[in-house]
């Protein structure tokens, strides 16, 4: 008998989960396939001529920096603002504004910091070197991002990229996140792709943005590939296994869903009722009733799945279909113990009789009839009568079959068996 042992694990290779590439690979999908670079790597960088601060400005800025190092922010700000307001030199003003931005940001006064960083960027054009201007642009973008000022954040992220010939995974990530949170799902895909692509290590947040965008745009084939990569890079993250199995199931790829959940199970990652219920359902959908029952029973035994009559009924039915009568009898009994309706006792009694345990079967048939509320009481009387016949309790069997005759669906069979047993009884008596 095929009990559904872990024969499906090698299929994982077949569906591609272990062949999609090395760590930090970013899947190409219908939505990422045409992603063009966000920067111009051949961009020629022109640096400004070197300029020195005046002796007065240099001394004041040095004093301000000493105050910053001592965390005397208000004193530093006072020195820098006086210099900014009194100077007519743009280079001096832009330098003072830059350090004012730093001083305010260290106090978490991001609105003031943003304003001074922007002033420094505006005044420093033509005076600061390209790298410093780019750093300022990045600071302004980050400040707007922290203030949730999405249009301005996007403006300065785009300005940074326009003037860069060097990739920056963090800039790409925050740009993608801002686009996604602005409702620009399509536009967020390529920045997220490049953030994940150029990073030195696998970038969970970038791949998550890619995953969410594919899911929202109903590009499930791509979402599947991204989830496979996330599982390769972050196998301990349980949600990725669950999400992949769920998407497979939603796309009617039931065998693939089963493979994923079984691998999840083999690695000891299952910890919730939904985990056990999902894997059990996957076995059921793939017509493996024995494993369906075993997984659900294990979930109850480990305290993850509700110990109720319905779940034990499901376990019993699947053991029954798998031909595991003894296991099914136990499961039906556990279900019957949790309900005042006699149907589970009836099922258990029928299996006891099928297993030729007629004496116990009669006891359980009586229990079913005593509880009542049976969907088919005639069946209980009929099967009990046959069990009594097997025990050679002919008078009792005939009496029970008389009860079965009261139910139209069983009347003919009960009459035939009652007459037959009467004949057997007569033959026994004559002997």
Q: Quick one: which of 50, 48, 49, 44 has its CA closest to 163?
A: 44
> Average pLDDT of 389-413?
96
Q: Give the contacts of 275 (CB within 8 A, at least 6 positions apart).
A: 242, 261, 264, 265, 269, 299, 304
Is there a domain that residue 216 lies in? Answer: no
121 pLDDT exceeds 70?
yes
Question: Whole-angstrom Cα distance, residue 386 to residue 410?
Answer: 13
Contacting residues for 381 by C-beta, under 8 A, at least 6 apart: 369, 400, 401, 403, 404, 407, 410, 414
In this prediction, residue 429 has a pLDDT band, given cuts at 50, 70 and 90, of confident
Contact residues for 389 (Cβ-Cβ < 8 A; gap 6+): 397, 417, 421, 424
Residue 16 pLDDT grade (very low, low, confident, very high; cuts 50, 70, 90)? very low
> Does 79 map to a domain?
yes
Mean predicted confidence (pLDDT) in 117-135: 93
CA distance 73 to 95: 17
126 pLDDT above the threshold of 90: no
Number of domains forming the structure of the chain:
1
Angle at CA 422, nearest 5°, toward 421 and 423?
A: 90
117 domain-assigned: yes
Which residue range(s) make up the domain with 96? 52-149
Q: Tell me whether residue 87 is in a domain.
A: yes
Give the mean model confidence (pLDDT) for residues 304-321. Answer: 97
Asked if pLDDT for residue 317 goes beyond 50, the answer is yes
What gap in Å lies between CA 315 and CA 292, rounded to an integer?
Answer: 7
The string over 86-125, giving b where at least 16 C-beta atoms fall within 10 Å of a residue's C-beta and e elsewhere, is: ebebebbbbbbbbbbbbbbbeeebbebbbbbbbbbbebbe
Q: Which two tokens stand for residue 180?
A: 């996604």
Residue 263's pLDDT is: 95
CATH number of the domain that residue 70 is part of: 1.25.40.10
42 contacts: CB under 8 Å, gap ≥ 6: 165
Residue 24 has a pLDDT of 60
One-character DSSP codes across 320-375: HHTT-HHHHHHHHHHHHTT-SSSHHHHHHHHHHHHTT-HHHHHHHHHHHHHH---S
What does the alpha-carbon distance between residue 389 and residue 418 come to, in Å, rounded to a whole number?
10
Higher-confidence residue: 23 or 369? 369
Rounded to 5°, the CA angle 85-121-40 comes to: 170
Query: What band does 258 get if pLDDT is binned at 50, 70 and 90?
Result: very high
In a domain, 346, yes or no: no
Domain membership of residue 396 (yes or no) is no
Q: Is residue 26 in some structural domain?
A: no
Task: Inform me whether the pLDDT recorded for 11 exceeds 70.
Answer: no
- Classify residue 135: in a domain, yes or no: yes
CA 396 to mean position of chain CA atoms: 59
């Amino acid at each position: 008998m095929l009990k559904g042992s872990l024969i499906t694990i090698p299929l994982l290779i077949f569906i591609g989960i272990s062949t999609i590439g090395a760590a930090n690979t970013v899947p190409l999908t219908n939505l990422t396939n045409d992603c063009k670079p966000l920067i111009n790597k051949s961009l020629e960088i022109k640096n400004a001529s070197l300029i020195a601060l005046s002796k007065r400005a240099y001394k004041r800025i040095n004093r301000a920096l000493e105050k910053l190092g001592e965390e005397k922010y208000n004193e530093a700000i006072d020195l820098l603002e006086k210099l900014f307001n009194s100077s007519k030199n743009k280079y001096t003003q832009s330098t003072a504004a830059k350090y004012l931005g730093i001083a305010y940001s260290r106090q978490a006064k991001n609105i003031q910091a943003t304003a001074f960083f922007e002033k420094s960027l505006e005044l420093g054009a033509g005076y600061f070197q390209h790298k410093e201007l780019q750093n300022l642009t990045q600071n302004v973008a980050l400040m707007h991002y922290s203030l949730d000022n999405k249009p301005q954040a996007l403006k300065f992220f785009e300005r940074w990229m326009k003037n860069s010939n060097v990739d920056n995974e963090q800039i790409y990530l925050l740009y993608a996140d801002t686009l996604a949170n602005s409702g620009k799902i399509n536009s967020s895909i390529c920045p997220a792709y490049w953030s994940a692509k150029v990073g030195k290590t696998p970038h969970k947040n970038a791949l998550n943005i890619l995953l969410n965008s594919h899911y929202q745009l109903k590009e499930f084939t791509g979402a599947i590939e991204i989830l496979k990569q996330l599982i390769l890079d972050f196998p301990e993250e349980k949600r990725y296994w669950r999400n992949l199995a769920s998407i497979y199931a939603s796309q009617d790829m039931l065998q693939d869903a089963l493979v994923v959940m079984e691998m999840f199970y083999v690695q000891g990652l299952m910890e919730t009722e939904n985990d056990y219920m999902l894997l059990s359902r996957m076995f059921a959908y793939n017509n493996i009733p024995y494993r369906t029952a075993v997984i659900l029973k294990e979930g109850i035994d480990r305290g993850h799945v509700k110990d109720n009559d319905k779940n034990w009924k499901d376990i019993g039915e699947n053991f029954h279909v798998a031909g595991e009568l003894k296991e099914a009898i136990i499961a039906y009994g556990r279900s019957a113990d949790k309900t005042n309706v006699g149907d589970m006792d009836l099922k258990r009694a029928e299996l006891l009789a099928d297993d030729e345990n007629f004496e116990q079967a009669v006891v359980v048939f009586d229990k079913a009839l005593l509880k009542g509320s049976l969907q088919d009481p005639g069946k209980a009387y009929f099967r009990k009568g046959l069990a009594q016949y097997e025990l050679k309790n002919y008078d009792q069997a005939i009496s029970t079959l008389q009860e079965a005759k009261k139910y139209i669906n069983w009347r003919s069979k009960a009459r035939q068996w009652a007459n037959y047993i009467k004949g057997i009884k007569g033959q026994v008596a004559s002997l």
